[in-house]
Structure 1
Amino acid sequence: GVYAASPSKTYTITFDTAAMKARYTPYYPEALKQLNAAGLHITVGGVEPVDINQCGPAYHIQVTERYRPLG
């Protein structure tokens, strides 16, 4: 999870797969408007591989799925 964010940095949300980007991107615009209005700089980016065993690139918020139940 995200535990802290600096208002002096720009963060990019990236996704493990194109399918995840297509699935989750529609949920971000309203939340990002509110976060940006509060002084945080967050944008939606593209697709990049995610290794859950190590940290991703600096200032990236990586979205992946470890378990997705059926139904």
Structure 2
Amino acid sequence: MPDIMVGEGMLTLKAATGKSETFHIYDITGQLIKRLEIKAGDSAQLELQRGVYIVKCSHWARKIMVK
């Protein structure tokens, strides 16, 4: 299953082993901030401003807070 980690000003997204994933990051108003395609087993890091975001992939959607 895909994984997500939130750090100070940083968001790390990791695709599950064996399956590529497309992640969508939205701000709290619903505006699409970034769309990322990550290959199976790879990860990507994004610098984000402080705030609340919604991260969606094919399996789940989560609300996160970047400090």
- TM-score w.r.t. length of structure 1: 0.29
Higher strand share: 2
Higher helix share: 1
Which protein is bigger by CA-based radius of gyration? Answer: 1
- TM-score w.r.t. length of structure 2: 0.29
Q: Which has the higher contact order (CA 8 A, sep 6+)?
A: 1
